[in-house]
């Protein structure tokens, strides 16, 4: 039985095959012709198997996606029997992050650190961690070898966006010094910054916020190109991209040069903006983000040294090809994180250390929860196509509710107390 992660990867693989049709970028004379051409060659599945799909199968996937989005490509079993992963997804993300930031760490050091932090069960063997590192090309600290690279540029706005994180100096806010992280998204064709915001944490939620705002403002990109850091390489981002019709691409491990445009943009940002700031005079993250917004405005309206045009000018020439979100509600739905939780005996679930009440009929069951991290009041359980809203647990309110239904003793009467039910 396939795990949830395996089923999601299978759905994302199917989307990758039909993406040119969904994005209306296929070169063939018709959709049928495209499906026939793709079906002529075998493909390698995520699990390593090699299959050759029929054209009718591809056409069925296209129809399913247009009708129900990425969910329609995901096989749903009636009973979730579960499938224990040797290395949890959260631990995989930490391994990627550690090897990126500290490439000389070996498997033994990584395993011990993850166990201490509670990310990895202590019964996971060292050999399992070693195999994972080897299988994903994370071994060694050698520099990326020289590769045959050629300059490239997409032909229109929205064909591909590049995303990355830049470390900024620490900011002293409220008497506490905290590291700042700039998450930025750049359009490959126009060099326009479509998203840029500074946070105190470099995590998946913050990346999703920047991407959501960019898509809402500028439309849906055909491809999103980013590195292998934990915020960028996770199941949630992959499902979000598949839901909106975007192909998610990752660079080779430790190959930052393949994202030349966004890396060069960071260098320009530091030279023209960052190095001129006095962080001691900036009192809050909001103030720093206001300054960043002004820099982005200047960047987008200044003639670029390579294209000889302002990014905004290039954007206006070809932005008619960008697909637009169907609605704000549709976009929010596509960006929902999807997790499974076991409902506890007190009819609650835990999401990011916060407790939420769920309908009592789900006690003891494993449920699928969807939520926007920045709008947790809209979180809900999806069960057989129906939505059941979650509510943040208020123990004081719950206690009052229980007392109203509980047995009470009336001491106002003379003599012995009378019990009221």
> Residue 82: what pLDDT?
39
pLDDT tens profile 333-373: 999 999 999 999 999 999 999 999 999 999 999 999 999 99
pLDDT value at residue 356: 95
How far apart CA 299 and CA 296 sit, in angstroms, is 5
In terms of DSSP H, where are the helices of 102-234? 107-116, 126-135, 204-218
What is d(CA 56, CA 244) in angstroms, rounded to the nearest whole number? 23
pLDDT at 148 over 80: no
Rounded mean pLDDT of 300-306?
A: 92
Cα 91 to chain centroid distance, Å, stands at 16
How confident is the model at residue 71, as a pLDDT? Answer: 87
What CATH number should be reported for the domain whose range is 89-135?
1.10.10
Answer yes or no: are the C-beta atoms of 227 and 241 closer than 8 Å. no
pLDDT in tens, 181-227: 999 999 999 999 999 999 999 999 999 999 999 999 999 999 999 98
> ∠ CA 88-228-329 to the nearest 5 degrees?
80
What pLDDT is attached to residue 5?
A: 75
pLDDT tens for 42-60 read 888 887 788 889 999 999 9
pLDDT at 407 over 50: no
Contact 186, 157 (CB under 8 A): no
Whether the predicted pLDDT of 89 surpasses 80? no
Q: How far apart are the first and last CA of the chain?
A: 49
What phi, psi does 244 have (nearest 5°)?
Answer: -90, -5
CATH number for 336-402: choose from 1.20.140.10, 3.30.210.10, 3.40.1440.60, 2.40.50.100: 2.40.50.100
The pLDDT of residue 76: 57
Angle at the Cα of 394 from the Cα atoms of 341 and 331, rounded to 5 degrees: 55
Average pLDDT of the segment spanning 291-313: 94
Dump pLDDT digits (tens) for 383-402. Answer: 988 999 999 998 878 777 65
Instruction: Indicate if the pLDDT at residue 122 is higher than 60.
Output: yes
Spatial CA neighbour of 368 closest among 388, 340, 334: 340
pLDDT: which is higher, 262 or 269: 269
Residue 239 has pLDDT above 80, yes or no: yes
Measuring CA to CA, which residue among 206, 185, 233, 238 is closest to residue 374? 206
Quick one: pLDDT band at residue 143, thresholds 50, 70, 90?
Answer: very low
- What is the bridge-based pairing of β-strands 366-372 and 386-389? unpaired
Averaged pLDDT score across all residues of the chain: 84
Higher pLDDT, 125 or 6: 125
Q: Give φ, ψ of 195 to 5 degrees.
A: -155, 135
Least confident of 102-116, 371-385, 405-419: 405-419
Per-residue model confidence (pLDDT) at position 295: 96
More confident residue, 111 or 397: 111
Written as six digits, the tokens of 167 are: 């470390």
- List the domain boundaries for the chain: 4-73, 89-135, 161-321, 336-402
Q: Which CATH number fits domain 161-321: 2.60.40.1220, 3.30.420.10, 3.90.1150.10, 3.40.50.1820?
A: 3.30.420.10
Distance (Å, whole) CA 369 – CA 350: 11
Quickly state the pLDDT bin for 297 (edges 50, 70, 90).
very high
The reported pLDDT for the residue numbered 403 is 44
Residue 154 has a pLDDT of: 87
pLDDT category of residue 75 using cuts at 50, 70 and 90: low
In this predicted structure, the answer to whether residue 406 has a pLDDT above a threshold of 80 is: no
Residue 255 pLDDT: 53
Prediction pTM value: 0.70
Distance between CA atoms of residues 351 and 346, nearest Å: 15
Q: Averaged over 308-336, what is the pLDDT?
A: 94
CB atoms within 10 A of CB 21: 20
What is the reported pLDDT for 98?
80
């Amino acid at each position: 039985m396939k795990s949830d992660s395996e089923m999601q990867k299978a759905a994302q693989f199917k989307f990758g095959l039909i993406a040119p049709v969904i994005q209306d970028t296929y070169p063939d004379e018709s959709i049928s012709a495209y499906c026939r051409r793709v079906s002529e060659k075998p493909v390698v599945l995520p699990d390593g198997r090699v299959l050759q799909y029929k054209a009718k199968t591809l056409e069925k996937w296209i129809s399913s996606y247009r009708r129900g989005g990425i969910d329609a490509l995901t096989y749903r079993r009636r009973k979730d029997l579960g499938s224990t992963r040797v290395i949890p997804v959260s631990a995989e993300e930490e391994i990627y992050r550690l090897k990126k930031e500290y490439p000389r760490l070996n498997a033994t050091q990584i395993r011990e650190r993850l166990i201490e932090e509670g990310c990895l069960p202590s019964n996971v063997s060292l050999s399992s961690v070693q195999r994972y590192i080897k299988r994903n090309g994370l071994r060694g600290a050698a520099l990326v070898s020289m590769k045959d690279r050629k300059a490239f540029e997409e032909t229109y706005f929205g064909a591909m966006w590049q995303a990355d994180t830049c470390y900024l100096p620490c900011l002293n806010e409220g008497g506490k010094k905290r590291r700042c992280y700039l998450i930025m998204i750049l359009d490959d064709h126009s060099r326009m910054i479509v998203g840029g915001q500074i946070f105190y944490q470099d995590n998946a939620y913050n990346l999703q916020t920047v991407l959501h705002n960019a898509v809402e403002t500028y439309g849906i990109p055909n491809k999103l190109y980013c590195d292998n850091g934990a915020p960028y390489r996770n199941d949630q981002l992959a499902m979000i991209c598949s839901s909106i019709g975007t192909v998610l691409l990752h660079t080779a491990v430790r190959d930052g040069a393949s994202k030349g445009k966004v890396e060069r943009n960071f260098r320009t940002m530091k030279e023209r903006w960052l190095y001129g700031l006095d962080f001691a005079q900036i009192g809050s993250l909001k103030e720093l983000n206001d300054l960043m917004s002004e820099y982005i405005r200047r960047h987008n309206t200044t003639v670029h040294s390579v294209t000889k045009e302002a990014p905004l000018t290039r954007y206006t020439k070809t932005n008619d090809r960008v697909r637009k979100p169907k609605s704000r509600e549709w976009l929010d739905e596509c960006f929902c994180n999807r997790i499974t939780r076991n409902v506890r005996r007190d009819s609650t679930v835990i999401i990011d250390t916060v407790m939420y009440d769920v309908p009592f009929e789900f006690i003891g069951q494993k449920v699928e929860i969807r939520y926007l991290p920045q709008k947790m009041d809209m979180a809900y359980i999806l069960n057989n196509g129906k939505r059941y809203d979650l509510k943040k647990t208020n123990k004081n309110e719950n206690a009052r509710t229980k007392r109203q239904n509980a047995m009470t003793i009336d001491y106002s009467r003379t003599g012995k107390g009378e019990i009221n039910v």
